[in-house]
Amino acid sequence: MSDTGATGHPFRHGGSSPRVLLRRLREIMAAEEGAQARLDKLSEAIAANMVADVCSIYLRRDDDVLELFSTVGLNQEAVHKTRLNWQEGLVGYVADKALPLNINEAQDHPAFSFRPEVGEEMLHAFLGVPIIRTGQVLGVLVIQNRTSRHYTEEEMEAAQLVATVLAEIVAAGDLLEKEDAAEVDRLLHRPEYLKAMPIVPGITIGTAALHEPPAPKHKVFAADVALETERLREGIVRLQKSVDDMIARNSQLSAISREVIEVYRLFAYDKGWAKRLEEAVLSGLSCESAVEQVQAENRQRMRKATDPYLRERLHDLDDLSRRLLRSLSGKTRRDELELPENAVLFAHALGPAEILEFDRRKLKGIVLAEGADTSHAAIVARSLGIPMIGRSEAAIERVEIGDAVVIDGESGEIFIRPEADVISGYQEKLALFSAAQKEYAQLRNLPCVTRDGTEVELFMNAGLVLDMPHLETTGAEGVGLFRTELQFLVSPQLPTASSQEELYRQVLDAADGKPVIFRTADLGSDKSAPYMRVVREGNPAMGWRGLRMSIDREGLIRPQLRALLGAAQGRELNVLLPLVTTSDEVGAIRAILEREVERRDKLGLGQPTSIRVGAMIEIPAAAWRLEHIAPQVDFLSLGGNDLAQFFFASDRESEKMAGRYDHLHPAFLSFIGMTATKANRAGKPLCYCGEQAGDPLMALALLALDIPRLSVSASSIGPLKKLIRAVDLNDLTAWLEPRLQSPAQSLRAELEAYAADRSLPLR
């Protein structure tokens, strides 16, 4: 098909060049055709321009599978059928590393994976380039040839140029069907977890602001190349004038500082830089896309540069590109200084003076791509008490303006678009440091017992290792509910058994002998991990989730049980099964657990000193038939949030249903009382888990319903202990019993009056 191997250059056939290719891409995107037809023509154009035997475009699905979306030179029947797992084959290797791969013999590479259906037996040379947008790999562009050859630097740059443009088109949704475009959008906005260098300790739950905001949404290609070229020239002139004005305003700079600024000005007037920008526009790109393209090339060079002086100069070019994008959009530096409330500022680098430019009432956290704990910026941030994290370029690439973020300057953890459970966990950590906690700390070592002598056990809910120190600070009896699904939700891939075991071991070590009840991963519904391909359901809360998913997917539950057994070796293991509906489901999981115990015996591995299995009662059917479930477990937990949701047929995620039904409704309390009676009759300890129990009035009702075990958020333990030590349980039980038959919609007002009459502390 080609003699590329002989010439060694992709642009010596028919005058092909990146400029010609971009013009052709622009023509394809302007045509009135379907998404697949456009995509196929793009592949044809790229193959022709690169003089390649094969050009393939793989796009990433939101379960992290790479699907062949288009190809020229491979079997067309493989399109949309060939799917590679993350890290699988050379394509998966490129996606995972987020770096180009250029090899002359594809089959000699250790990552090579043969897929007979695509028909690539006769191919040798391979060039794979990741398609990246905002730090996320959206797919891989693959160029292949029958000859054995190494692609030149010019060919590499051409492929990277095309991949950059493809990323913009794919993200804009112009190249995909509606459903596929929505999947890409979900991929770009999935929760992100990163860990970097902690610089200034402290926690911030806030909103992302960018020190260098991206250009506003813009078209990838220019409608009128001549007008776009003139617009670029005008933008560069405005940029040069702004640099001249900056130097004039700072005429008193020292000689060294002035020299640095003068070099900066030379770059602003550099004709080579301007020419590269103009060439990109003449190829058909919009001004903004041209600036971003040249900026991406400079950043690629910056990553490879080892000379500090060269890196600094490339930083200058990067900053000039951002200034030019502002100039093109008509924005000023003053616009960028406006921050949202509780702002977390993300920046490549910050000078100490720049921090002082921002409104300190709004600036609550800083994340830098660079930075060090001894920098001047760190010194200023520390004196202002602003948490700071450094060395996280990935965070700068992946965050967007307005994203919800959580940063922990003590651990260096960054959560972008975090799950609700993560936000809740950090809110707990913040709450525990409030002034009110000092009073509750004094109760930490006192017994949790009512005035008339009834002992009450207060456990703590947790989901992160960082929650574990609260056991000591609150005096909780143990962890009544450890939500293991958080590890699954923040990981880009299914956590291995060894990584799970390490986490559970850390949790048990931190508990220091106090009991920890691990709830197996409650995935599904609104808790879908990024690598999971969950079927969309009309009512996911009542669908394939929790224990149901675990039974159907042993590959999910077996590694977790294996990890729990390993972590608890020589200690007590408590396993809680979520969303139990029938006794058969408990039996199915116990059988899997038994097989894992037998496996450890065969391997000569140690076992936990005891294994206790519990059922979480969150469905009315399970509560109604509790006498059949109880004999198969060692303990029971009531999951209040879901139980109330299903009891009232009221979606707890629905804004319209929020607050419509009170969990202090007599009917719901009666139902809980019936469940408690059945549990006590079966001789199985029952604990009430969930945020409801943190409501002091609900806690009073639960105690009166003979549920003396509560598992609540860490910040609720102090207030509840204070309340419990003040209440007379016999009096409370006698007061509540007749009111369970009340026609009232809620007993809240009456319970508040009861507490006020007896001077019970509700705050």
* H, E, C per residue of 119-182: CCCCCCEEEEEEEEECCEEEEEEEEEECCCCCCCHHHHHHHHHHHHHHHHHHHHCCCCCHHHHH
Which 8-state DSSP code applies to residue 215?
Answer: P
Q: Among 55-69, 303-317, 680-694, which stretch is predicted with the lowest mean pLDDT?
A: 303-317
Tokens of 330: 């008509």
pLDDT of residue 1: 34
pLDDT of residue 436: 64
The mean pLDDT of 361-367, rounded to a whole number, is 93
Q: Are strands 343-347 and 136-145 parallel, antiparallel or unpaired?
A: unpaired
Q: How many CA atoms lie within 13 A of 393 on its CB side?
A: 4
Measured distance CA(23)–CA(549) in Å, rounded: 50
Contact, 421 vs 463, CB < 8 A? yes
- The better pLDDT of the pair 514, 159 is held by 514
Sign of CA dihedral 33, 35, 37, 40: positive
Q: Among 541-555, 582-596, 647-661, 712-726, which stretch is predicted with the lowest mean pLDDT?
A: 647-661
- Residue with structure tokens 């294996």? 562
Q: Among 39-43, 124-128, 298-302, 603-607, which stretch is predicted with the lowest mean pLDDT?
A: 298-302
Q: Express as a percent the part of the chain with pLDDT over 90.
A: 44
pLDDT band per the 50, 70, 90 thresholds, residue 95? very high
Task: Enumerate the H helices of 173-254 as residue ranges.
Answer: 178-188, 225-249
Measured distance CA(462)–CA(471) in Å, rounded: 10
pLDDT of residue 625: 93
Contact, 24 vs 149, CB < 8 A? no
pLDDT band per the 50, 70, 90 thresholds, residue 64? confident
Q: Among 86-90, 136-140, 251-255, 557-561, which stretch is predicted with the lowest mean pLDDT?
A: 251-255
pLDDT of residue 498: 92
pLDDT band per the 50, 70, 90 thresholds, residue 253? very low
Give the CATH number of domain 192-213+335-416; options: 3.60.15.10, 3.40.50.300, 1.10.8.350, 3.50.30.10. Answer: 3.50.30.10
pLDDT of residue 491: 65
Domain boundaries, the chain: 4-188, 192-213+335-416, 225-330, 420-430+455-757
Phi then psi for 615, rounded to 5 degrees?
-115, 135
Check pLDDT > 60 for residue 2: no
Tokens of 23: 């013009």
The mean pLDDT of 387-404, rounded to a whole number, is 88
pLDDT band per the 50, 70, 90 thresholds, residue 256? very low
- For residue 687, the surrounding DSSP H or E stretch is strand 686-689
Contact, 205 vs 427, CB < 8 A? yes
Active site residue 80: no
Contact, 611 vs 589, CB < 8 A? no
Check pLDDT > 70 for residue 607: yes
The mean pLDDT of 471-491, rounded to a whole number, is 86
Measured distance CA(121)–CA(54) in Å, rounded: 12
Query: Based on C-alpha coordinates, what's the Rg of the chain?
Result: 31
Of residues 195, 722, 200, 711, the one with CA closest to residue 467: 711
The CATH number of the domain covering residues in 225-330: 1.10.274.10
pLDDT tens per residue, range 329-346: 766 555 556 789 999 999
The CATH number of the domain covering residues in 420-430+455-757: 3.20.20.60
The Cα-based distances of 489 to 186, 348, 419, 521, 531 in angstroms read 14, 27, 8, 10, 9
Distance of CA 552 to the CA centre of its chain: 26
Q: Which of 55, 448, 687, 689 is labelled catalytic? A: 689
The mean pLDDT of 252-273, rounded to a whole number, is 62
pLDDT of residue 6: 32
Measured distance CA(371)–CA(434) in Å, rounded: 30
pLDDT band per the 50, 70, 90 thresholds, residue 254? very low
- Residue with structure tokens 């209040």? 640
pLDDT band per the 50, 70, 90 thresholds, residue 280? confident
- The better pLDDT of the pair 359, 180 is held by 359
Q: Which of 189, 348, 376, 470 is labelled catalytic? A: 376
Check pLDDT > 80 for residue 257: no
Contact, 587 vs 625, CB < 8 A? no
pLDDT of residue 755: 96
Q: Among 266-275, 377-386, 676-685, which stretch is predicted with the lowest mean pLDDT?
A: 377-386
Q: Express as a percent the part of the chain with pLDDT over 70.
A: 83
pLDDT of residue 112: 92
Measured distance CA(50)–CA(102) in Å, rounded: 14
Which 8-state DSSP code applies to residue 527?
Answer: B
- Per the rule left: phi > 0, alpha: psi between -120 and 50, beta: everything else, 546 is left
pLDDT band per the 50, 70, 90 thresholds, residue 16? very low
- The better pLDDT of the pair 303, 495 is held by 495
Average pLDDT value for the chain: 84
pLDDT tens per residue, range 520-544: 988 876 566 655 665 666 676 677 7
Q: C-alpha angle with apex 100: 94 to 101, nearest 5 degrees?
A: 75
pLDDT tens per residue, range 717-727: 999 999 999 99
Check pLDDT > 90 for residue 638: yes
Contact, 215 vs 288, CB < 8 A? yes
**Residue 202, Cβ neighbours under 10 Å: how many?**
19
Check pLDDT > 60 for residue 298: yes
Q: Among 6-20, 457-471, 625-639, which stretch is predicted with the lowest mean pLDDT?
A: 6-20
pLDDT of residue 251: 57
Measured distance CA(279)–CA(295) in Å, rounded: 14
pLDDT tens per residue, range 661-695: 889 999 999 999 999 999 999 999 999 997 788 89
Active site residue 470: no
Measured distance CA(576)–CA(298) in Å, rounded: 53
Measured distance CA(757)–CA(163) in Å, rounded: 71
pLDDT of residue 5: 34
Check pLDDT > 70 for residue 594: yes
Q: Are strands 610-617 and 635-639 parallel, antiparallel or unpaired?
A: parallel
pLDDT tens per residue, range 173-212: 666 667 777 777 777 778 889 999 888 888 999 999 988 7
The CATH number of the domain covering residues in 4-188: 3.30.450.40
- For residue 377, the surrounding DSSP H or E stretch is helix 376-384
Which 8-state DSSP code applies to residue 68?
Answer: E
Beta bridge partners of 142: 56, 128
